[in-house]
Every structure is written in structure tokens, then in C-alpha cells.
């Protein structure tokens, strides 16, 4: 018996929650706990793929759970951008779970059951954000995602972890309540609706200084997008175990941030409204500043995870830069870069965790010759790094290509210069790592080999996905292109 579209939407939301509920009771049986985590993640993947087929067929089912007030429902609706985000999270959850099993066991991490429970809740909230049918629903699940990932950031329970957790929670909650909620209420006041509508719910209803202020509230209210100067929560959160870093940087948290920005630009403001106003230009400058500054800071980091963290801050602003170029091609680039960065950056974090697990090394200066001891790990790292630079044959090349074409389409010279300069900076902080790993001799004899098999399989899977997205981009490209095409 096949499920209806509405039942599939509910399943995507509830499956991770059900998994979290039963995992919580399996603390004494780690094999069963981890098996259930894998089974739940695969069930979600099958559900999301079933929803994907509906969207590709041109359907747009929706379901209303609860109406808080007249015309103010908690509502879920399938649309192309949300479908792309849901697919990314659903594909990466089982891979990250496999990696987590190898990592958490090899490093004898405490509170593993709590980790898997919170991870599952975070995935459920990610599905809620991806499938949100209006701003109210998006805001509710955005906050749940913040709260469910706080125990993951503070997983180690030491002073550094608790301090990082306070920064994480403080910045994300203060921006969302102080700015994002205000922007949502203001939008409701102007339009009487919080629904997402291609062409923009605010089209024809806001202009001038009011538009600039509203844009500011939305962009800086979404602190998960890590636009400077509200980016500090991201490097602070690097004290968490590597599977958590992968969740923050690739699967859910920062992707929820830039996804929400793109969704609001396309469906709340509308590209045409912003094109006709000069109110969005300042965001290009802020995004460009964040891209370049974060890249320069990344250059100076010897700690591998911190370099990757500042790389993420830079790469996230590529998405914001692309969507605010306000060209159809650059909007496609913004959506594609969400996927390209997810697969490339999770590969890099997986590799960093693999190096820590097998060699107990955390600094770049310690990686001379490590490619010969850990060839699979460093092959995967090299692929992820090439994608972040934006070179073929990786997914990062596709998104940067569309980004540049969109910038040329709109004659955005600043955007073109930022993309070129930052690409060179990306090469400057990734190529030396690759070179040292493969072409420098280690300073002392080493006896370690590769990480546990679960870790190696996971990182090679995500590296392969980074390559496959270059050669087979049809589905994400079709979803991304749909953002600029009026639906029947």
C-alpha cells in the first residue's frame, strides 16, 4: 500500500522523531542503538526520494497541521528548493551515522546515546525547515534545530564546550528572536500572509527604506547563515566531536541558514521586487567582505578544523552573494552551491576526524607525508578541497560557473572580482595541505594506518558524491532551475 503525498510529508517529519524515541531506550545495547539509527536514516531517505518523484512530476502537495489563528497555520508544502535541501539532509544522514559509529567508538566518546537522539531530532527539525509552507512553520523548526543541536555542541561537557555552547545559543537565539521574528511579524502586518509565493509575497507591498530594514532583519535574523559579524558561533562550535561538526557544516545547521535566506529572497521578497529596488545592493558588499575576510583568516589557521570552519563561513556567503546578484542563473547557482558545499565540506570534516582518530593529529603543520599512511582519507580530502576551490570535475565547479554567469548577466563587477579573488584564496589555504600530505616527508617515523572501516567508507562515499554531482547534475539542476520558473 503506497502512502499519499500528505502521509509522506508527515512521515519525513515523524520518522526521525520516532527513531530518537526508541534510540533513547537503547543505551545498554549499542549495537541495536546504532542499527536502529541506520535503519531510521534509510527509511527517511526512501521517504524523501518518494517525495522527490512527486516534485519532479510537477506536483506540489501541502498539508496543514494546525491553525494557530485565522490564516496563520503550521503548514508544510513541497517546492523545489525545499526538496533539494531535504534530499541533501536525507542522503547525508545515513552516511554521517555510519561515520559516527566508527568515530564515537574509536574515540570512546561518552554520552553516545544522547548524541544519536539529538542528531535524530535535529534531522527532524531540518525536514520541518525544508518542507515549511510558510514563515511561521520555518521559524518554529529553525528554533527547534538550534535547541536540539545545543547538547551536541556541548557534548564533551568540559569548560571549553560549555563556553562554546553559550556563544552558540546566545548568538543564534538572540538574532532569531530579536530580528527574524520581528521581520516575520512585520511581513504579516504588511501582507496578511506568511505563505511562500514565487514572485514574492511582499511584491508591490514594500519599497525604499522599509525594504532595506526588512531585508536587514531577515538576513541578520538568520544567524545560521554566519554572515559577518554574527559568525563567531561557528568557529566556537569546533570543540564538538567531528560528527557534530559535519552536522553543523554540511547536513543541517548552516545549510538551514543559507537555505532560509534563499527561500525568503525568492518566495517572500521576489527577485523582480529586489531587482527594481536599490535596497539589496549592500548585502552584496557584506557577503563579499565575509567571503574574502573569512578566507584570509582561514589562511592563518594551523588547526585543521578551525581552517575548515572559516572556510565554511566564506563558502556560505557564496550562496548569499549568488542569490543577491538577482539573476536567474545566479539563483540557480545559490541552490546548487548548497548541495556542492554540503558534499564537499562534509568530506573535509570526515577526513579531519579520520586523521584525529588514526594519527591523533589536529594541526596542518603535522600532516607532512600523511597521504602515504592514510591514502583513502587524503584522496577524499583532496577531492573535497578541489570542490571548495571550484575546479572540475567536482560539484563546486558547477555552482561557481553558474555564479559567474549570473554575475556577468547582471554586470555585477564586484561579485565577479570577489569570486575570482576568493577562488585564489581557497587554493592558497587548501593546496598546501594537499601538497604536504602527498609530497613532503614526515618529520618522524609513523606506524599508524587508516581509520576504522566505517569512517573510510563514509568519507569515500561523500567524496564520490562530490564527483557524481559534477557528472550527473540533472536532478539538482532541475530543482534549482524551477526556482525561477512560474509553477502552474
For residue range 171-196, what is the model confidence (pLDDT) as tens digits?
Answer: 999 999 999 999 999 999 999 889 99
Say yes or no to pLDDT of 485 above 70.
no
- The pTM for the full model equals 0.93
For residues 122 and 48, the answer to whether their CB atoms sit within 8 Å is no
Say yes or no to pLDDT of 481 above 50.
yes
- pLDDT higher at 486 or 246: 246
Say yes or no to pLDDT of 162 above 80.
yes
Cis before 89 (ω within 30): no
Among candidate residues 316, 286, 317, 311, the one with its CA nearest the CA of residue 297 = 311
Grid coordinates belonging to 398: 558547477
Q: How far apart are CA 222 and CA 213, in angstroms?
A: 14
- Delimit the domains of the chain by residue range: 285-488
* 3-class DSSP state of 242: helix
pLDDT level of residue 71 (50, 70, 90 thresholds): confident
pLDDT for res 445 = 66
What is the 8-class DSSP label of residue 269?
I
Say yes or no to pLDDT of 488 above 50.
no
Say yes or no to pLDDT of 450 above 50.
yes
Residues 6+ apart with CB under 8 A from 281: none
Say yes or no to pLDDT of 353 above 50.
yes
pLDDT for res 1 = 57
pLDDT for res 185 = 94
Taking only the tens place, the pLDDT of each residue in 403-433 is 999 999 888 999 999 999 999 999 999 999 9
Say yes or no to pLDDT of 358 above 50.
yes
pLDDT for res 11 = 94
The helix (run of H) or strand (run of E) holding residue 69 is: strand 62-69
Say yes or no to pLDDT of 297 above 80.
yes
Q: Which of 97-101, 128-132, 439-443 has the highest mean pLDDT?
A: 128-132
Query: Looking at 36-50, 134-148, 230-244, 389-403, which range is the least confident one?
Result: 230-244
For residues 129 and 256, the answer to whether their CB atoms sit within 8 Å is yes
pLDDT for res 487 = 47
- pLDDT higher at 247 or 317: 317
The helix (run of H) or strand (run of E) holding residue 195 is: none
Taking only the tens place, the pLDDT of each residue in 383-401 is 999 999 999 999 999 999 9
Q: Which of 88-92, 246-250, 275-279, 445-449 has the highest mean pLDDT?
A: 88-92
Burial class (CB in 10 A: 0-12, 13-18, 19+), 362: middle
Residues 6+ apart with CB under 8 A from 14: 124
Q: Average pLDDT of 230-236?
A: 86
- As a whole number, the mean pLDDT across the chain is 90
For residues 54 and 5, the answer to whether their CB atoms sit within 8 Å is yes
Amino acid at each position: 500500500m503506497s502512502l499519499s503525498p500528505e502521509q509522506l510529508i508527515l512521515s519525513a517529519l515523524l520518522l526521525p522523531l520516532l527513531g530518537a524515541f526508541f534510540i533513547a531506550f537503547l543505551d545498554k545495547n549499542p549495537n541495536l542503538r546504532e542499527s536502529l539509527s541506520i535503519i531510521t536514516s534509510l527509511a527517511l531517505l526512501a521517504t524523501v526520494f518518494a517525495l522527490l518523484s512527486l516534485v519532479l512530476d510537477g506536483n506540489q502537495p501541502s498539508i496543514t497541521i494546525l491553525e494557530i489563528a485565522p490564516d496563520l497555520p503550521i503548514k508544510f508544502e513541497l517546492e523545489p528548493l525545499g526538496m533539494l535541501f531535504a534530499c541533501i539532509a536525507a542522503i547525508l544522514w545515513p552516511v554521517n551515522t555510519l561515520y559516527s559509529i566508527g568515530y564515537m567508538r574509536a574515540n570512546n566518546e561518552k554520552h553516545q546515546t544522547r548524541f544519536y537522539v539529538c542528531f535524530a531530532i535535529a534531522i527532524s527539525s531540518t525536514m520541518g525547515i525544508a518542507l515549511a509552507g510558510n514563515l511561521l512553520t520555518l521559524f518554529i523548526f529553525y528554533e527547534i534545530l538550534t535547541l536540539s543541536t545545543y547538547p551536541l555542541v556541548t557534548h564533551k561537557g568540559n569548560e571549553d564546550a560549555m563556553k562554546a555552547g553559550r556563544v552558540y545559543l546566545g548568538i543564534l537565539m538572540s538574532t532569531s528572536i530579536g530580528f527574524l521574528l520581528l521581520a516575520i511579524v512585520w511581513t504579516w502586518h504588511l501582507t496578511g500572509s506568511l505563505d511562500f509565493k514565487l514572485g514574492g509575497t511582499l511584491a508591490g507591498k514594500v519599497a525604499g527604506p522599509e525594504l532595506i530594514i526588512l531585508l536587514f532583519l531577515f538576513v541578520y535574523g538568520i544567524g545560521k547563515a554566519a554572515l559577518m559579524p554574527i559568525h563567531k558561533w561557528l568557529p566556537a562550535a569546533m570543540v564538538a566531536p567531528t560528527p557534530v561538526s559535519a552536522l553543523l557544516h554540511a547536513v543541517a545547521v548552516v545549510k538551514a541558514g543559507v537555505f532560509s535566506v534563499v527561500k525568503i529572497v525568492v518566495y517572500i521578497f521576489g527577485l523582480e521586487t529586489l531587482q527594481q529596488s536599490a535596497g539589496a545592493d549592500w548585502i552584496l558588499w557584506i557577503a563579499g567582505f565575509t567571503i574574502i575576510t573569512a578566507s584570509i583568516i582561514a589562511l592563518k589557521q594551523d588547526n585543521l578544523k578551525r581552517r575548515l570552519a572559516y572556510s565554511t563561513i566564506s563558502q556560505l556567503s557564496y550562496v548569499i552573494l549568488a542569490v543577491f546578484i538577482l539573476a536567474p542563473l545566479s539563483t540557480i547557482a545559490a541552490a546548487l552551491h548548497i548541495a556542492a558545499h554540503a558534499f564537499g565540506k562534509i568530506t573535509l570534516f570526515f577526513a579531519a576526524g579520520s586523521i584525529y582518530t588514526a594519527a591523533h593529529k589536529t594541526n596542518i603543520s603535522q600532516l607532512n607525508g600523511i597521504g602515504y599512511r592514510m591514502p583513502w582519507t587524503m584522496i577524499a580530502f583532496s577531492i573535497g578541497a578541489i570542490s571548495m576551490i571550484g575546479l572540475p570535475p567536482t560539484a563546486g565547479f558547477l555552482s561557481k560557473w553558474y555564479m559567474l554567469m549570473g554575475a556577468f548577466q547582471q554586470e555585477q563587477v564586484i561579485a565577479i572580482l570577489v569570486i575570482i579573488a576568493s577562488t585564489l584564496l581557497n587554493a592558497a589555504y587548501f593546496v598546501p595541505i594537499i601538497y604536504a600530505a602527498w609530497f613532503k616527508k614526515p618529520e618522524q617515523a609513523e606506524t599508524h594506518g587508516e581509520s576504522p572501516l566505517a569512517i573510510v567508507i563514509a568519507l569515500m562515499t561523500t567524496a564520490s558524491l562530490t564527483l557524481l554531482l559534477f557528472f550527473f547534475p540533472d536532478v539538482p539542476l532541475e530543482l534549482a532551475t524551477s526556482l525561477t520558473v512560474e509553477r502552474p
